[in-house]
Amino acid sequence: MSFRDSNVAVIETGRTHIRAGLGLHDLLKTPTVEFPARVGLRRNASGEHLNKAQQPIAPGETDVKKRIGSSSRVSSFPQHLEPNASVNDYLVGTALDEALAAGQDVTISWPFADADVHDWTQAEAIWKYVLFNQLQRRRVQNESPVLLSLFPGLARDTYERACQIFFERFNAAGLAIIERPVAQIYAANSLDGVVVDIDEEKTDITPISEGFPLNHARTTIPLGTRDCQNYLAHILKSNQSVVSALSPAENPLDPEALHAILLDLVKQLWTDGHVKVPSDGETVLVEDEGVTDIAAVVMAGKEKAIIENQIKKKATAKASAAEQARAREIEALDLLTVQFREHSLTLGKERHRLCEPLFDPTLLKGLPGSLPVANAVRPLPLQEAVGLVIGQTDIDQRASLWAGLFLTGHLTRHVRGIGIALQSRAAPFVVNAELLTEVQPRYVRVLNMPEYYAEYRDTGNGLACFLGSSITAKIIFNDNGGKSFVSKADYTARGPHAIIEMTPALL
């Protein structure tokens, strides 16, 4: 059987985000739903969690309540267990945002933060919110099949439990599950490569060969966007003009408050596209010659003239040689003026150092605000982690893997050049480049999402999972044979186990 494209629902499940959309169009569209992958429970003055009726939730038989962190590092994304909480007790999406904005006492939990389903009630609350609140599906007459993306390497029981929820709780018309890195590599128009998925606190690295993840070789390193933001925030403390504007001498902020504000500034910088990544592997430093004191420039009131020089010609034909030299110095500073919290701030090249910790984690050593790593194990740089992952695959697979390096994640949606920077640093890991044998890797190639996906041209590679899931949904839900998804008839006949037979990665 096949379904109408307009009824197909695509749900991307990430560690810290959920993205979804309804309908598959000729030009595949970006997700219409996007929110943090978290739930909340209200608490009373005694610290007891409250249900939907604002009554205390009775503790379980063993009173199991604990906070579980990541196995590889202390996570800032808590995962709380409340055994007797129901799906309807949890706040999700806008309801949770409003409760937090109102200052209510709410316990936050991130059920997918460890790349697994930590709590099924919380997961169901999130998926229910997507289908019925955001996509406006009706449970009684639900004609929408669902393409659900999940993490690689999950147990078969996890697939079966998800299948049971979507058919028995949501009355889905059909269900297919795709692993996130597979969907991401599909978005790059490839079946082979290494997917590097940068999230808030962790980066997942998964090799894929002929469309199947090589789970024995994949790894996760405790580095992510938050480390980059924390690093750049500390660098900006040396920019006197920025610090003076945000923490004036007559009313200074305490160090923690200043750091929190700088973190917000850093996030605004990279989400607005003001950060790029050098590809040569060198640290971005402001030149020692010429005008290097940005604070002095700002204090002298010359920042406007400097910024204007960036978008105009260096000098007119009548300009003197000294004036032209001065103009070149100003241009080399790469100054930028941004509006932030009613301040006009001028920054230089230091903003381009955002991603340095990904390639050199030692920069984070002893840095206040960095999350501690379990057993003090030094995280591997991205280039070493990728080399280690590929080195654990079969030798005849390595050439195609090195030729398909694909970086994705929300950071790549706004910061361009991370893939090229990784390519230049990973080149030394291509062993014996002079030996041209059939199985010897000869080069490292970076993949990107094709330009012909018009709706995704301005999104970098950040929405690769959703695009790849949409491509997959368009193919399998139009397959009259129905061999790649579970229909209601399949579920009635075989139960939750039907998803195992319909998921190629599990066979």
Whole-angstrom distance, CA of residue 313 vs CA of residue 134: 49
**HEC secondary structure over 291-338:** CCCHHHHHHCCCHHHHHHHHHCCCCCCCCCHHHHHHHHHHHHCCCEEE
- Which one-letter DSSP state was computed for residue 458? T
Widest distance between CA atoms in the chain: 86
Cβ atoms of 118 and 67 within 8 Å: the answer is no
Alpha carbon 227 to its chain centroid, in Å, reads 13
- CATH 3.30.420.40 given to domain 1-37+115-188+463-507: yes
Whole-number Cα distances in Å, 11 to 166, 200, 474, 484:
12, 20, 14, 17
> For residues 178 and 148, what is the distance between their CA atoms, to the nearest angstrom?
6
* Residues whose CB falls within 8 Å of the CB of residue 180, separated by 6 or more in sequence, listed in order: 12, 13, 14, 149, 150, 151, 152, 197, 204, 465
The CA-CA-CA angle for residues 149, 267, 32, to 5°, reads: 35
Instruction: Determine the 3-state secondary structure of 149 from DSSP.
Output: strand
pLDDT in tens, 312-353: 555 455 566 776 666 566 566 778 889 998 899 989 899 999
| Partners of 20 in the β-ladder | 11, 33
Q: Which residues contact 422 (CB under 8 A, 6 or more apart)?
A: 196, 359, 382, 383, 386, 405, 407, 446
Q: Give dist(CA 486, CA 482) in Å, integer.
A: 7
Q: Which residues is 208 bridged to in the sheet? A: 193, 213
**In terms of residues, how long is the chain?**
507
Q: 339: alpha, beta or left, given left = phi > 0 and alpha = psi -120 to 50?
A: beta
Task: Answer whether 1-37+115-188+463-507 and 193-222+371-448 agree in fold.
Answer: yes
Count CB atoms within 10 A of the CB of residue 283. Answer: 11
| Cα 392 to Cα 273: distance, rounded to the nearest angstrom | 36
Give the separation between CA 57 and CA 351, rounded to whole angstroms.
48
* Residue tagged 């230091």 (tokens): 350
What CATH topology corresponds to 193-222+371-448?
Nucleotidyltransferase; domain 5 (3.30.420)
Decide the pairing of beta strands 33-36 and 39-42.
unpaired
Q: Are 263 and 389 within 8 A, CB to CB?
A: no
The closest of 115, 117, 208, 204 to 157, measured between CA atoms, is 117
Residues 391, 432: Cα–Cα separation, whole Å: 14
Mean pLDDT by 10 residues, the chain (507 residues): 86 96 89 96 84 80 43 65 91 95 93 94 97 93 93 94 96 95 96 96 96 95 95 93 91 91 95 86 41 49 56 56 65 82 90 95 84 66 95 92 96 94 89 63 90 92 96 88 85 94 78
Q: Calculate helix-pair angle for 225-236, 255-271, nearest 10 degrees.
A: 120
Q: Report d(CA 223, CA 364) in Å as an integer.
A: 10
**For 430-454, what is each residue's pLDDT tens digit?**
866 555 666 677 789 999 999 999 9
User: How confident is the model at residue 70, as a pLDDT?
Assistant: 37
Percent over 70 (pLDDT), the chain: 82
Domain boundaries of the chain, sorted by first residue: 1-37+115-188+463-507, 193-222+371-448, 226-264+282-359
The candidate with the shortest Cα–Cα distance to 464, out of 178, 151, 188, 146, is 188
- What pLDDT score does 166 carry? 97
Q: Are 173 and 142 in contact (CB under 8 A)?
A: yes
Distance CA 196, CA 181 (A): 8
